[in-house]
């Protein structure tokens, strides 16, 4: 899951009211995320299914998943450029939404030819949609508005509500009808979002690109993330080459993080599907029945349902973590952004060590309690909150002004490379499961040590961050 930068809601601190456009964008993004995460939750299991899917091996499904993620994170860079220089944000979002819907409906046909054509449409749709809807959230507020940060908080919750609902709906449809019905539902959800955006288009005029900005306008390529404040004057005194070098270190950390984190759509789903006994706990079947409104038996679910765990934890942990950092800041104890990122990598390591121990407990091939993966996701989500939004915030602050668009693009290229490297999952069936989890844990720990070792020079290259 993509997350938001650390900010504190400011509703009530001003008599200014949120524009109606915020709630249009909230609903649009919620349904877009519903569609996106519905597909993400079922893709690899569908590809392996002998009856409804293509009967692929886990290695083949994992390889396609890695390519899918790579292109999903590359295309927003081009989509943002086109919107900023040619089309504008609102037309780009509509085009992206329509192409998204067509892609999801094509997925529901279930043939290999239509499947690849659908993926191409999804890449195009995502490129037009993602970078521009987040930009519009900020644009509908006047400069200096005290409600702008709170607006992203509201928008962010819509993202995670959609991401949480998606795997639950996908599991219900998979059980009761089949995988293709879930793909179709993704298209319906995206259709709802696009329709809402079009019907209430008139409330979003202020979110369009500025024709004649006072300063060169930069492309905001944040996925689900708010733009952050400009860098402080102390950064101006640091040579550009030092700041760029520091960001290259951050990119290296990001590559490894996403390689590890985005196992959620492949090997973590396989683990939840093949090595998790959902009936081993008396609590989880009850929770699943509650969240699915009793439509399915909570003790007999597939790994699809596990994809709802991460957004659940993000929703639960986000505001407490923000308030914790605020409390630390008031006492002069808040760590620097690079230190938070190092802590995020350590937590990522701990999450996969939990899975490592769980793998040993199940003898690598047996089934274990769902609390292993639930607790691992809890720690991983906390690590995500400390690393992913912190990193993008850092890029926005540290990158030289004249190169900020390029360095933001570099962040997404690094993310795409990390997503491509999720193909390490092809070793899932060749190594012991515990060994696989341990390798990921050690990769995260190694990068945490690298970041800690470079903490002092990084702080000198980005003072005040």
Q: Are residues 192 and 264 in the same domain?
A: no
Predicted pLDDT of residue 23: 84
Query: How do residues 205-235 score in pLDDT, each as one tens digit?
Result: 666 655 444 444 444 444 444 444 444 457 6
Note whether residue 220 is domain-resident: no
Burial category of 368 from C-beta neighbours within 10 Å (exposed 0-12, middle 13-18, buried 19 and up): buried
Asked if the structure places residue 210 within a domain, the reply is: no
Q: How far apart are CA 279 and CA 22, in angstroms?
A: 42
**Residues 105-127: tens digit of each pLDDT:** 999 998 999 999 999 999 999 88
Q: Confidence class of residue 429 from pLDDT cuts 50, 70 and 90?
A: very high
Which residues, at least 6 apart from 465, have a Cβ–Cβ distance to it below 8 Å? 231, 235, 336, 337, 338, 394, 397, 398, 459
Single residue among 154, 185, 201 that ends a domain in this structure: 201
Report if residue 213 sits inside a domain.
no
**Cβ atoms within 10 Å, residue 195:** 15
The 10 Å Cβ neighbour count of residue 464 is 12
Residue that the structure tokens 């002069």 belong to: 332
177: enclosing H helix or E strand? none
Domain match, 168 and 270 both: no
Question: How much is the pLDDT for 153?
Answer: 65
In a domain, 380, yes or no: yes
Residue that terminates a domain, selected from 201, 226, 260: 201
Same-domain pairing of 328 and 389: yes
Is 100:121 a contact under the CB 8 Å cutoff? Answer: yes
Query: Mean per-residue pLDDT for 273-293?
Result: 90
Residue 395: inside a domain = yes
Determine the pLDDT at residue 247.
85
Using the 3D structure, point to which of 142, 175, 201 is the last residue of a domain.
201
**Cβ contact 116:165 at 8 Å:** no
For 334-345, write each residue's pLDDT tens digit: 888 888 889 999
Note the pTM of the prediction, 2 decimals. Answer: 0.85
Identify whether residues 93 and 184 lie together within a single domain.
yes
Main-chain phi, psi angles of 276, to 5 degrees: -120, 125
> In 3-state terms, what secondary structure has residue 368?
strand
- The residue behind tokens 């659908």 is 118
Query: Looking at the structure, do residues 463 and 332 belong to the same domain, yes or no?
Result: yes
Same domain, 193 and 240: no
196 lies in the same domain as 243 = no
**In this predicted model, which residue has the larger pLDDT, 214 or 309?**
309
CATH number of the structural domain spanning residue 66: 1.20.1250.20
Q: Which residue has the tokens 């060749």?
A: 430
Query: Could you give the percent of the chain with pLDDT greater than 70?
Result: 83
Per the structure block, which two tokens stand in for 43? 């893709």
Is 6 contained in some domain? no
Same domain, 196 and 273: no
CB distance 108 to 122 below 8 Å: no
- Do 196 and 335 lie in one domain? The reply is no
Residues 323, 279, single domain; the answer is yes
Average pLDDT over residues 241-256: 86
Residue 227 in any domain: the answer is no
Residues 197 and 338 in one domain: no
Which range, of 29-43, 137-151, 376-390, 410-424, averages the lowest pLDDT?
Answer: 137-151
User: Which residue spans within 65-120 are E strands per DSSP?
Assistant: none
Count of domains forming the chain:
2
Confidence bin at 399 (pLDDT 50/70/90):
confident
Which domain range does residue 285 map to?
A: 235-465
Mean pLDDT, all residues of the chain: 84
**Is residue 12 situated within a structural domain?**
no
Angle 58-82/112-139 helices, nearest 10 degrees?
40
Do residue 306 and residue 187 come from a single domain?
no
Residue 150: pLDDT band (50, 70, 90) is: low
CA-CA distance, 239 to 227, in Å (whole number)? 24
Two tokens, residue 386? 């400390």
């Amino acid at each position: 899951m993509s997350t938001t930068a650390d900010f504190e809601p400011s509703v009530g601190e001003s008599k200014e009211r949120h524009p109606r456009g915020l709630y249009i964008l909230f609903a649009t993004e919620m349904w877009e995320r519903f569609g996106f995460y519905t597909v993400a939750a079922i893709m690899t299991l569908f590809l392996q299914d002998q009856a409804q899917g293509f009967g692929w091996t886990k290695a083949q499904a994992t390889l396609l998943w890695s390519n899918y993620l790579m292109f999903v994170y590359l295309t927003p860079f081009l989509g943002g450029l086109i919107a900023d220089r040619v089309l504008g944000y609102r037309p780009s979002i509509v085009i992206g939404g329509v192409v998204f819907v067509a892609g999801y409906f094509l997925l529901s046909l279930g043939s290999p030819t239509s499947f690849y054509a659908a993926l191409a449409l999804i890449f195009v749709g995502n490129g037009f949609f993602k970078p521009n809807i987040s930009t519009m959230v900020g644009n509908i507020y006047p400069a200096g508005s005290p409600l702008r940060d709170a607006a992203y908080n509201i928008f962010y919750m819509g993202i995670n509500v959609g991401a949480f609902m998606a795997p639950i709906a996908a599991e219900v449809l998979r059980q009761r009808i089949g995988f293709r019905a879930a793909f179709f539902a993704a298209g319906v959800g995206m259709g709802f979002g696009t329709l809402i955006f079009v019907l209430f288009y008139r409330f979003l005029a202020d979110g369009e690109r500025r024709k004649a900005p006072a300063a060169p306008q930069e492309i905001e390529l944040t996925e689900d993330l708010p733009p952050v404040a400009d860098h402080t004057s102390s950064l101006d005194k640091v040579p550009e080459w030092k700041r760029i070098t520091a960001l290259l270190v951050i990119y290296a950390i990001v590559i490894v993080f996403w390689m590890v984190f985005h196992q959620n759509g492949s090997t973590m789903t396989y683990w939840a599907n093949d090595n998790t006994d959902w009936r081993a706990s008396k609590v989880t079947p009850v929770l699943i029945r509650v969240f699915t409104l009793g439509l399915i038996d909570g003790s007999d679910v597939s790994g699809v349902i596990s994809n709802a765990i991460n957004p659940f934890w993000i929703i639960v942990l986000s505001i407490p973590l923000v308030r914790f950092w605020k409390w630390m800041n008031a006492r002069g104890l808040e760590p620097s952004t690079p230190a938070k990122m190092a802590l995020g990598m350590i937590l990522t390591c701990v999450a996969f060590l939990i899975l490592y121990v769980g793998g040993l407990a199940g003898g690598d091939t047996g089934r274990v309690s769902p609390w292993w993966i639930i607790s691992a996701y809890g720690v991983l989500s906390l690590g995500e909150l400390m690393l992913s939004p912190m990193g993008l915030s850092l890029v926005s602050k540290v990158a030289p002004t004249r190169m900020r668009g390029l360095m933001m693009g570099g962040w997404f290229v690094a993310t795409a490379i990390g997503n491509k490297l999720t193909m390490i999952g092809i070793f899932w069936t060749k190594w012991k499961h515990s060994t696989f989890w341990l390798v990921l844990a050690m990769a995260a720990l190694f990068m945490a040590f690298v970041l800690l070792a470079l903490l002092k020079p990084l702080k000198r290259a980005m003072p005040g961050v």
